[in-house]
Structure 1
Amino acid sequence: MESCSATLAPKTSIVKNESEGTMAERIRRQHTVSKFYLKGFADQSGGIRRVSLPGEPSIVLSIRDASVIKDFYTVTLPDGSLSDAFERAFGKIEGAAAEALSDILAGVWPIEGEAREAFATWVALQHLRSQDVRYSQGYMNAEMIRLIVGVSGKEALRSLIQNSESRPVSDEELDDEWRDITKPGGPDMAPSANQHVRLLSSLLPPTAAYLRDCHWTLFRFDRRSIATSDHPVTLVVAPDHPQWQGVGIATAELFLIPLSHRVALTIQPRRRFPQLPKGIDRVPDFTKKGTTAIARSINQETAARALQYVYHHPNETPLQGLYLPKPETRDRPSVSNAGALIREEGLFSEMTEEARRAISASSVPDESSSGMSIDDIPWPIPGRRSKTSDR
């Protein structure tokens, strides 16, 4: 187990962004974690400590620079131009959520009505807009491409390339492409802002409604310090959660959100309370006094779920003694047993012609069909990173 060795909090000046660039470049510096939210973990001057996994380096910087990624929400329009309209739309959600968070930190609890709606929407947004969700999309795309190509076989891949590029493909080139596309995890895909925003737009309303109707518990700490991360919404599962089963909104047993360096929130699906006393239709939200053990548990879950950075108050040491993972060791989701379906000759190469015709006749596509074959894969594959040839 590794522990964080860089958790002492010496007096450190705030590191300022050295090259903010032109006005257009500053506008395109987009935050993956809300600035109003990070303020709760900063000192009076707006400085926050950023700890890089697995514990070094540790620097103090302004909250305006703590979670910036250039053009993270900038989408490409059909005419090829760039738009930051979604970043502006997120700003409206953040404005309402900032007021709700201010009330919570000031002692208002529980929050109901528009305030609850606004904060539930922000929690859903903060989870769905994360780098983790975007990367997961790329992984799933790569796995799907790997499976379709692997099932179709090398000669089908040759035909796809030749038909798309109107040129012959040598055996050497085909071997190179086959190895890269069908390797474990599939081809390396660059994250897509457009695809991510489409997913976010479709999932945000139902996810916000789901969280709004859950049971909320607020933890307040007098002395113990709470940390957050570049992925501040942690989806926690039960100890007996099957390792093969993914963790998502519908399967999480608990949503954990640090709210400041002294406050944390948990959101529990109401299915966890199947038996309620007669006359009570829901468990009310309540507040608990935070303990050392609870603070340590919250900080460990938060650190373990971070992608690259953990953030905390510059004069506190909430990570002391915790295990901090290495970013590159994170598990990449994969399709179980997909390798057994990948064959150079194609999965159905030994099938008789009669069987092929029977399958074809029983699977005539209609308007509701959502099937996909290798012929549906655009070539070159959009978003595919340049491969490193091992020839």
Structure 2
Amino acid sequence: MTNRIRRQHTVSRFYLNGFSDDAGRVRRVALPGSSGPVLSTGDASVIKDFYTVTLPDGSLSDFFERAFSKIEGSAAEALKLILSGVWPIYGERRKSFSTWVALQYLRAEQVRQSQTNHNAQFIRLIVGVSGKEALRSHIQKAECRDVSDEELDIEWRDLTKPGGPDMAADANDHIQLLGDLLPGTSAYINDCQWTLFKFMRRSIITSDHPVSLVVAPDYPAWRGVGIFTADLFLVPLNRRHALIIRPKNLRENVQIPDFTVEGTTAIARSINQETALGARKCIYHHPEEFPLEGIRLPHPLARDHPPVPGIDALVSERGLFSGIPEASLQAMSQAGPPGDRKSGMTLDDLAWPIPGRRRPAADK
């Protein structure tokens, strides 16, 4: 346990070394393309206390940062073998690297932010379908006081704005999600087909979110991309190697072995473009090379509050069911078995004040 601030890496240092110069430095380029500093790999991806969790007694623990270091140690050995020319890799080496790929994806800042965005959207939905007066009653009951129309307007606008209320990311929630998903994601990646791309002259970049999920160009943007819906995983390995991980096509029952491909300029540009699009805030590359020429760099804030189709139509000041007679609402609430009713959530289940919410300025 610790109560001091710790510098914690969101991208493994051993991994960033593959993109560095002889002095162990990389160039960090802030999106959407500002010229960035040259930093040591020990400083390039640090966020203070990113994996530090709060224990029930209120103390802080860096247990998970230390647990991640064990996974990184085994993965570093596997990566060293790959880059030395050993391919394919099998057995424990493959499992170790699969676990690191899964960990590197799940522990990234973008995954934490996506989880926070999901919570905010859910709060927006719960409040929006309940209606403004229901929100007033909920606040008054929780705080044992009257709520004015002016205060209610402020709360309603903030809670039902596009994207939902502003929420602080929670390390405990992120770590719990990571723990739930890591075993299954690691096993899934281990069972995929792996293709190693090797480049003789072209330089490969990486980012603060180095494991990219890639889909076909015609994939509907509104669906979102997840671990089990992606067409492939893209993992730059160092400035001369990249790994493409493809789910097996079980319908065709064809077992494609792992193999190596000699990379071309077009392939390098395509890999760098996908890596850039998958970045959250910054890109890393060798400080003496210029691999971003011709690469479209996204704006860093474009992915923070993605729209969720259908929610706008459900948000109503009068409440979604305002036109339905009370007797009909009671009949609807009793139509399903008790187990189904218990599994749902209403405004009454929403804690108030909402944990982790950043209150609007006028309410502070």
Question: Shorter-chain-normalised TM-score: which range?
Answer: over 0.9
Shift, 1:310, TM fit:
0.4
Shift, 1:335, TM fit:
2.5
| 1:334 match | 307
| 2:183 match | 205
- The structure 2 residue matched to 1:307, chosen from 272, 280, 286, is 280
Q: Does 1:371 align with 2:349?
A: no
Shift, 1:340, TM fit:
0.9
SS of the residue 1:172 aligns to: helix
Going from structure 1 to structure 2, the CA distance change for 1:60 and 1:25 (only over 3 Å counts) comes to farther
Rounded Cα–Cα distance in structure 1 between residues aligned with 2:3 and 2:19: 27
| 2:53 match | 75
8 Å contact 1:50–1:58 — kept in the other structure? yes
Shift, 1:226, TM fit:
0.4
8 Å contact 1:75–1:193 — kept in the other structure? yes
| 1:232 match | 210
The 5 Å alignment of 1:41-120 reads 41-120=19-98
The 5 Å alignment of 1:253-332 reads 253-271=231-249, 274=252, 276=254, 282-330=255-303, 332=305
8 Å contact 1:143–1:334 — kept in the other structure? no
Matched residue count = 362
Shift, 1:73, TM fit:
0.5
Rounded Cα–Cα distance in structure 2 between residues aligned with 1:307 and 1:131: 8
Shift, 1:329, TM fit:
2.8
- The structure 2 residue matched to 1:189, chosen from 143, 157, 167, is 167
Q: Does 1:355 align with 2:307?
A: no
Rounded Cα–Cα distance in structure 2 between residues aligned with 1:237 and 1:365: 41
Give the structure-1-normalised TM-score: 0.89
| 2:147 match | 169
- The structure 1 residue matched to 2:119, chosen from 141, 144, 147, is 141
Shift, 1:67, TM fit:
0.3
Identity of aligned residues (%): 64
Going from structure 1 to structure 2, the CA distance change for 1:25 and 1:226 (only over 3 Å counts) comes to farther
Moved over 4 A (4+): 24-27
Structure 2 gaps, min length 5: none
Shift, 1:332, TM fit:
2.6
Please tell me the root mean square deviation across aligned C-alpha atoms, in Å: 1.7
Which range moves more in the overlay, 250-259 or 237-246?
A: 237-246
Going from structure 1 to structure 2, the CA distance change for 1:257 and 1:294 (only over 3 Å counts) comes to same
Give the structure-2-normalised TM-score: 0.96
| 1:344 match | 317
Q: Does 1:38 align with 2:16?
A: yes
| 1:9 match | none
8 Å contact 2:130–2:320 — kept in the other structure? yes
Shift, 1:244, TM fit:
1.7
Q: Does 1:245 align with 2:223?
A: yes
